[in-house]
Amino acid sequence: MAPKIIVLLSILLLNCQLIFGQTLWCDYLISHSSGYTCQLTIINPDGLNNFTHINGTHMANMTNEDVASITVSSMNSGSNSPNIPSIICEIFPNTTSSTLTRLGVKRIHDYSYKSCKHLTHIHVNHNNITEVDENAFIENTELQFLELWFNELPTLPENVFRNQQKLIRLRLDFNRITDLPDNIFVPLRNLTFWGMESNLIKDLKIKWFENFERLETLWLFYNRIEELSTNVFHPLINLKSLGLSFNMLSNLTTEMFEQFMNLEDLWLDINELEDLPLNFFNSMTNLKELDLGTNKLSNLRAEWFKPLSNLEYLGLYENEISELSAEIFTPLQNLEFLTLEVNDIEDLPSNIFSSLINIEVIRLNANNLKIIHSDSFGVLPNFAYFTASNNQIDAFDEKLIDNSRISGIDMMNNICANFGVFDYSDSRQLIRNGLQKCFENYENLNPGCVGGNWDERVCLIEDKNQAQQEKIEHLQAAVEELQKLVQELIDRPCRS
């Protein structure tokens, strides 16, 4: 009976504190990933820091010193506190992980984590933080992961990271940061991941990156960057992933990126790029993913792709491309995914895709294509998914289906077809059925449309009735010739 009485008394105490508008309560459990955990309920709307204890009943043989992780209980959505009371770290000094999300925290004070000297992970995401005190993390010398994303931070104090030499992951995404002090990142020599996505940054300071030789991932998506200093990224010799999407970049030079020998992912989509230097990618021989979509590129340079033999993904969607040279993609033998959607492409030159022996997906939606020739693709053993919706396609060479393993296709809103089939057991036959009219139209193409250089010829699809009419005319002409011969024989005098 005694344990039941203790639980009832604890619940009564909690309810009394809830009535008076202030409480801290832990539900204890053991997590496979985090160990002994306090699932915290905190009701502290006035941001008080005068707590003297935390309610809750430990599991058998466990104490405050055994708590390794503190999280806000997902079952207590009413938790709220504009501050992080110091009692949490005072009661649980050995905790290594603190996750306090969606509490409405507005400020991280000097006292918030002062007594948690063993913390390696701090996650204070999805709050309303506008200020972090300069000494907020001064005692957290073991910190490796710090996440402050989805807050309202406009900046941070210059010395806020002065004791975080072990920090390897820093997330400041989705704030309102316009600027940061020059030397704020000097102590972070071991940082490998820095997220600054969705802020209000216009200029990148050279000083920020000076000690980032170990940085592998840099996310600067969704900012307001218009220009880059020539040597701003030069210290980043080990960078593998660089995100610059959703900015306002219009002019990039080779010198800005020449040190990226280890770069694997480069996102430059949704900027204002009209062109790139011919040798822009020369140093990026390890690049696997390149996104240049939603820019103003009109001419693709063959020189861009020559060093990119390891590329697996290439995004060229939503540009102003109208012509493609037959050799443009020849070096990309490891490419698996190519998207050329929403351009102005009218013709696909012979063999333009035939060197892409590992290609799996080609997307050509929303262009001005009229005919799909099989010799644009050659024999592609891994080619499985083809999209060409919203074009003007009225003929399709059946050999393309024969020479690939296409099991998914999107041909919506074309002239000869208006259907889509995705990858399932009988999709190949469904594709053939859906393209039957396109196949027939291809068989009736003018002879000049089969083979040759398509960039220099005009291909007109003949109506089936017209083709049949021509056959009839040929037969009629033959019959007339035969009739003439018969008449000549009749008119010729017989020999006696």
Q: Where are the domains of the chain?
A: 322-487
Nearest to 228 by CA among 279, 280, 282: 280
β-bridge mates for residue 314, sequence order: 290, 338
pLDDT at 457 over 60: no
Share of the chain above pLDDT 90, in %: 81
Pick the CATH number of 322-487 from 3.80.10, 1.10.155, 3.30.70, 3.30.300: 3.80.10
Say what the pLDDT of residue 422 is: 81
The pairing of strands 361-363 and 241-243 is unpaired
Say what the pLDDT of residue 495 is: 47
Instruction: Give me the amino acid identity at 188.
Output: L
Q: What is the pLDDT of residues 122-145, one digit of tens each?
A: 999 999 999 999 999 999 999 999
Q: Which residues contact 226 (CB under 8 A, 6 or more apart)?
A: 202, 247, 248, 249, 250
Say what the pLDDT of residue 14 is: 46
Q: What is the pLDDT of residues 19-55, one digit of tens each?
A: 445 799 999 999 999 999 999 999 999 999 999 999 9
pLDDT band of residue 477 (cuts 50, 70, 90) is: confident
pLDDT at 458 over 60: no
pLDDT at 397 over 80: yes
Say what the pLDDT of residue 469 is: 64
Say what the pLDDT of residue 7 is: 40
Is the four-CA dihedral 103, 108, 109, 112 of positive or negative sign? positive
Say what the pLDDT of residue 313 is: 98
Rg of the Cα atoms in the chain: 34
Give the mean pLDDT of 419-448: 86
Q: Estimate to the nearest angstrom the gap between the alpha carbon of 127 and the chain centroid.
A: 25
Give the lowest-confidence range in 67-81, 149-163, 252-266: 67-81
Q: Estimate to the nearest angstrom the gap between the alpha carbon of 200 and the chain centroid.
A: 21
What is the C-alpha to C-alpha distance for residues 350 and 356, in angstroms, rounded to an integer? 13
Q: What is the pLDDT of residues 148-194, one digit of tens each?
A: 999 999 999 999 999 999 999 999 999 999 999 999 999 999 999 99
Distance between terminal CA atoms of the chain? 140
Q: What is the pLDDT of residues 197-232, one digit of tens each?
A: 999 999 999 999 999 999 999 999 999 999 999 999
Say what the pLDDT of residue 77 is: 61
